Chains A and B, each alone.
Chain A
Amino acid sequence: MGRAVRAETIVLWLCLAVVAIAGLAPIAVMVFESVWHDGHFSLNHYRELISAARFWPLFGNSVRLALATTTVCGLIGVPAGILFAKSDLPLRSGLMWLLTVPFVLPPYFIALGWSRVVARVGATTAEWLFGFGGCVLVLSSVFLPIIMLLTFASVSNVDGRLEEAGRLAFGWPAVLRRITLPLSAPGIAFSLVLVFLLAIGELSVPSFLRYPVLPVLSFTQFAASYNFGAATAAAVPLAALALLGVLIESALLQNRVFTFRSIGRGLLISLGRWNPIAAAIFGLLTVALVIFPLSALFADAFSLTTLHDAMQRAGASIVRSVIYSAIAATILMALGFLLAQLTRDRGQRLVNFLTLALFAIPGTVLSIGLVRLWNSPMTWFIYTTPALLILGYTAQYCAVTTRLSLAGFFLIPKTFDEAARLSGASWTQRLFRIFVPLSNRTLVCAWLAAYILCLRDVPIALMTASPGGDPLPARILTLMANGAPPMIASLCLIMAIASLIPLVILARVIPSRGITG
């Protein structure tokens, strides 16, 4: 028993060491730079930041944008996730995967697609797109899948027996309100926090659509002043908002006991005469949020000549992107799974905050920190290889796989673990014979989420890829400046396909019951 505890502790510390090496240490380097000025401790960068006339308006704009995006995504994504999981809506599987497509591309590309749509429609629409409304539209279409898929997964995993028992006394709306939604709250709350953080940290879309937001302060300090300390100081409020997100989420879910076990279909929402109306609404939504921008983005992509040209210009980058993202996703899946398993009973809030703070910190700040930390003759094997890029991905996205794994653990009855423990099974045995086999689908989900996030990442790819080793999104972005539009369209299409192939696999692996079985 003593040996088992030691193994558990060692693995926990190893996992924390990976998070520290990949993310906390580079951020610490940058934070140090922000408070160490001319050989002494100084909070000048922070004072200047807070006292700058533009700080609070930009902060307000960012919060407004993030709240609006989260609200829109929540209002559409939660009902969509519930209906796709629990109703008899026709074509629900196809609609769900179509609505997921914008998420697999960097948000900047979707904004570009929308700008082409409005260029065809006319200047009046352009005025609306370029501003707050346009930002909310683009970011909502990009981040909607997060809430939709996590809601889908959460409600799918509610114990069907509870819902069935509820149905004996109530109609489906009451069961949904009193059983399904409260039990799905952790997954839904986490998806809302994720979208809020992603929206508040987003720079490329608001910049493109001319809506000033807080991350522009950090960007300006980097791009116009080359002032790393001030740039880091400007990014700290984003980490503070991550803490706030964790606290709000914890407060919302305090003292709640969740029992999950996916048995049977449970609740079935029969839409009856509302069925065609609901199908039409979701069909229109898919056309508006997916078909319009993507058809404009991919309009010139379908010629063999341009596809050939695109492959010639970026073939190696495509292979690199897929390999690096797959490796990072594998590491992230394992790390998230172990962190979630080891902090299931204690330390969860701290791990949540640390990983979400890394998630909220702009990729550029993290990347410069990684450069500062690892660029030395002793560590060339990290710095001059894709290992640096993979470290960056690991730091930025471990929050996602950790939380997905944690949600998966709720589905495994504690009695299994307790019985194995009583019969003398070591932690390693319990891990590999109970948790891993029962978390197969959770692991697949976590891997896919991490793969897509890594594949579409731009800031880390641009700043940490080794010379001559750029991944696809970085290459598309650098080719966009004066590059031929058909070739760019083809590259975007190739990138979407590279992301969607695993999603198609996901669609086959995960039947309508959800992420665990």
Chain B
Amino acid sequence: MQSRCTGGSPRPKKIMRNRMGAVVTLALIPILTSCRPTSSRTVVVYVSEDQVFSEPILKDFERETGITVKSVFDTEESKSTGVTNRLIAEKDNPQADVYWANEPVRAEALKQRGVSTPYVSASAEGIADQFKDPDHNWTGFSARARVLLINAKSTIKPAGVMAYTDPLAKGRAAIANALFGTTTDYVAALFTIWGDERAKTFMNDMKKNEVKITTSNGESTDFVATGQVDFSLVDSDDAVNTKKQGKPVEMIYPDQDPNGIGVLILPNALALIKGAPHEENGKRLIDYLLSKETERKLAFADCAQIPLHSGVETPSEIRRIEDIKTMRVSYADLARKTDEIQPFLKEWAGQ
């Protein structure tokens, strides 16, 4: 130990300098090898759609156009706060060109905060206006539906959302936390269609009926599949995926009777970012994603999404959009209503 402390030989010094040099070089590698994404052959996309489904489509775009796609993915499942916040935080110096949202309310929230800019894509022709922003800040495509997933052995056979308040379903139904994701959208849709008073009564009755509040639609799906509850509102991709795995579940489109409120359809939504560094490439990506071919791929993928163009080939388990009675709601209204009912939802969810 003593010799190491007093060691005056130049060897340790040299080794130390060499090591320091190596450390500095190592530290500079990622900085030197990264460059500002201003290349004309690049597009930056922030994606809320599940990575397993969106990444293959983006790879196809890369292959077909030669444009490199740089992506930032997100997940609600594990409670990350996601790319929407990042887009808002980057508003003054945007890095992304395109936002691929997994439901339109997030795209609408970005529009209301001035993050996106209008773009009318030729590929959007044939998609109903109901699924587009009237100001063209976002365009919907390949949709999910909020469906009821029912355990195959269940004696309860709900036909609509009111089943949640049926005494027969006491303690036997689940719903994902209404503060997050597509459940928030669904509740906001009920408030929009029914009015605040009726919707609040429904939510409170549901709670009195001892509904199980889960952390995510994925967990609700598991609860139904394992028989912990009889039914739950979930997204159609979760339901189709669970059925494909051979689990004992049935999926129904709720409230389809003539007086029913219909099914909430939640399309993916594409928004061009205001001040996008690669605007032209961003538009090309949006055109590509809005095409019938992309909708066909997403219909046949495990996410089983419903094409919004007519005449797109679909697998047998997916109903065509024209065969579904849909909720007639404006997504802009849903976004506003979502903000408005936050205090109620926080109290309802106990957060």
Contact yes or no, A324 B351, CB < 8 A: no
Q: Smallest CB–CB gap between B39 and chain A, Å?
A: 12
Restricting to A463-495, which residues have a CB under 8 Å from any CB of B?
Answer: 463, 465-470, 474-475, 477-484
Once bound together, how far apart are the Cα atoms of A483 and B77, in whole Å?
Answer: 12
- Known contacts A220-B351, A222-B85, A224-B180; is-contact A481 B77 (Cβ 8 Å): yes
- Provide the residues of chain A in CB contact with B52, threshold 8 Å: 479, 481-484
Of the candidate stretches A35-43, A86-94, A186-194, A204-212, the one touching chain B is: A204-212
Restricting to B1-55, which residues have a CB under 8 Å from any CB of A?
Answer: 1, 4-7, 12-13, 16, 23, 26-27, 29-31, 34-37, 44-46, 50-53
Contact yes or no, B16 A480, CB < 8 A: no
Once bound together, how far apart are the Cα atoms of A372 and B88, in whole Å?
Answer: 10
Kindly identify which residue among B16, B37, B73 contacts A470, using a CB–CB cutoff of 8 Å: B73
Q: Which of A434, A458, A481 has most B Cβ within 10 Å?
A: A481
Q: Is A323 interfacial (CB 8 A cutoff)?
A: yes
Of the candidate stretches B129-137, B255-263, B342-350, the one touching chain A is: B342-350
Contact yes or no, A222 B81, CB < 8 A: yes
Once bound together, how far apart are the Cα atoms of A223 and B237, in whole Å?
Answer: 22
Q: Smallest CB–CB gap between B10 and chain A, Å?
A: 13
Of the candidate stretches A8-16, A174-182, A381-389, A500-508, the one touching chain B is: A381-389
Q: Is A56 interfacial (CB 8 A cutoff)?
A: no
- Provide the residues of chain B in CB contact with A381, threshold 8 Å: 31, 36
- Provide the residues of chain A in CB contact with B113, threshold 8 Å: 226
Q: Is A54 interfacial (CB 8 A cutoff)?
A: yes
Q: Is A459 interfacial (CB 8 A cutoff)?
A: yes
- Known contacts A331-B27, A467-B44, A467-B95; is-contact A478 B351 (Cβ 8 Å): no
Contact yes or no, A54 B34, CB < 8 A: no
Contact yes or no, A377 B93, CB < 8 A: yes
Q: Is B90 interfacial (CB 8 A cutoff)?
A: yes
- Known contacts A226-B88, A467-B72, A481-B77; is-contact A386 B7 (Cβ 8 Å): no
Q: Is B161 interfacial (CB 8 A cutoff)?
A: no
Q: Smallest CB–CB gap between B303 and chain A, Å?
A: 7
Once bound together, how far apart are the Cα atoms of A89 and B79, in whole Å?
Answer: 42
Contact yes or no, A54 B5, CB < 8 A: no
Q: 1/0 per position for A199-223, CB-CB distance to B under 8 A?
A: 0000110011010100011011011
Contact yes or no, B5 A438, CB < 8 A: yes
Once bound together, how far apart are the Cα atoms of A330 and B30, in whole Å?
Answer: 14
Once bound together, how far apart are the Cα atoms of A467 and B81, in whole Å?
Answer: 16
- The residue in chain B whose Cβ has the minimal distance to the Cβ of A370 is B89
Once bound together, how far apart are the Cα atoms of A437 and B4, in whole Å?
Answer: 7
Q: Smallest CB–CB gap between B66 and chain A, Å?
A: 16
Once bound together, how far apart are the Cα atoms of A469 and B71, in whole Å?
Answer: 8
- Provide the residues of chain A in CB contact with B68, threshold 8 Å: 468
- Known contacts A220-B179, A372-B89, A482-B50; is-contact A386 B30 (Cβ 8 Å): yes
- Provide the residues of chain A in CB contact with B96, threshold 8 Å: 467
Contact yes or no, B89 A368, CB < 8 A: yes
- Provide the residues of chain A in CB contact with B73, threshold 8 Å: 470, 474-475, 478
- Provide the residues of chain B in CB contact with A123, threshold 8 Å: 226, 228
Contact yes or no, B85 A368, CB < 8 A: yes
Q: Is B78 interfacial (CB 8 A cutoff)?
A: yes
Contact yes or no, B78 A228, CB < 8 A: no
Contact yes or no, A371 B228, CB < 8 A: no
- Provide the residues of chain A in CB contact with B342, threshold 8 Å: 224-225
Restricting to A280-338, which residues have a CB under 8 Å from any CB of B?
Answer: 323-324, 326-327, 330-331
Kindly identify which residue among B79, B226, B238 contacts A203, using a CB–CB cutoff of 8 Å: B79
Q: Is B92 interfacial (CB 8 A cutoff)?
A: yes
Q: Is B157 interfacial (CB 8 A cutoff)?
A: no
- Provide the residues of chain A in CB contact with B12, threshold 8 Å: 437
Contact yes or no, B53 A482, CB < 8 A: yes
Q: Smallest CB–CB gap between B340 and chain A, Å?
A: 11
Q: Is A462 interfacial (CB 8 A cutoff)?
A: yes
Q: 1/0 per position for B96-118, CB-CB distance to A under 8 A?
A: 10000000000001000100000
Q: Is B82 interfacial (CB 8 A cutoff)?
A: yes
Q: Is B302 interfacial (CB 8 A cutoff)?
A: yes
Once bound together, how far apart are the Cα atoms of A224 and B346, in whole Å?
Answer: 10
Contact yes or no, B51 A433, CB < 8 A: no
Q: Is B281 interfacial (CB 8 A cutoff)?
A: no
- Provide the residues of chain A in CB contact with B44, threshold 8 Å: 467
- Provide the residues of chain A in CB contact with B82, threshold 8 Å: 223, 462
Q: Smallest CB–CB gap between A374 and chain B, Å?
A: 10
Q: 1/0 per position for A25-49, CB-CB distance to B under 8 A?
A: 0000000000000000000000000
Q: Is A108 interfacial (CB 8 A cutoff)?
A: yes
- Provide the residues of chain B in CB contact with A484, threshold 8 Å: 52
Once bound together, how far apart are the Cα atoms of A371 and B16, in whole Å?
Answer: 35
Q: Is B198 interfacial (CB 8 A cutoff)?
A: no
Q: Smallest CB–CB gap between A123 and chain B, Å?
A: 6
Q: Is B215 interfacial (CB 8 A cutoff)?
A: yes
Once bound together, how far apart are the Cα atoms of A386 and B35, in whole Å?
Answer: 10
Contact yes or no, B5 A434, CB < 8 A: yes
Contact yes or no, B80 A477, CB < 8 A: yes
Q: Is A119 interfacial (CB 8 A cutoff)?
A: yes
Once bound together, how far apart are the Cα atoms of A123 and B93, in whole Å?
Answer: 50
Q: Is B171 interfacial (CB 8 A cutoff)?
A: no
Interchain Cβ contacts under 8 Å between A and B, 11 examples: A220-B346, A220-B351, A223-B81, A226-B85, A323-B26, A364-B85, A377-B93, A380-B36, A433-B7, A467-B95, A480-B75
Q: Chain B residues in contact with chain A, CB under 8 A? A: 1, 4-7, 12-13, 16, 23, 26-27, 29-31, 34-37, 44-46, 50-53, 68-82, 84-86, 88-90, 92-93, 95-96, 109, 113, 179-180, 184, 213-215, 218, 226, 228, 237-238, 241, 302-303, 338-339, 342, 345-347, 350-351
Q: Shortest 4 CB-CB distances between A and B: which pairs?
A: A468-B70, A467-B70, A222-B81, A478-B73
